[in-house]
Amino acid sequence: MANSTGDPRVLFAMNLVLSAAFSWVLVSALSFVGVTPFSWRRVALTTAGLVVLTYVVVE
C-alpha cells in the first residue's frame, strides 16, 4: 500500500478546527477557575499559536 500524506488543505482545516475547539475549552476552563477572563480574541490567539506549533512539530 502506498504511503499517502493526504491533501494539505484537509489537514490544515482539521488542524484549525481541532485547535479552535481545544483553545475554546482551555480558555473557558481558565476563565472558570478565575485565572484569566474569557474573550474571543484570547481564543483566536491561542488557536493561532496552536496551529503554528502543530505545524512546526509535524513538519
Instruction: Classify residue 1 by burial, with Cβ atoms within 10 Å: 0-12, 13-18, 19+.
Output: exposed
How does 6-32 read in b/e, with b if 16+ C-beta sit within 10 Å? Answer: eeeeeeeeebeeebbeebbeebeeeee
d(CA 47, CA 23): 6
Report the predicted TM-score, pTM, of the whole model to 2 decimal places.
0.83
Q: What is the pLDDT of residue 17?
A: 97
Task: Return the DSSP state at 35.
Answer: S
Please state the separation of Cα 40 from the chain's center in Å: 14
Query: For the segment 26-58, what is each residue's pLDDT rounded down to a tens digit?
Result: 999 999 999 999 999 999 999 999 999 998 998
Residue 1 pLDDT greater than 60, yes or no: no
pLDDT in tens, 2-34: 566 778 899 899 999 999 999 999 999 999 999
Domain ranges of the chain: 8-58
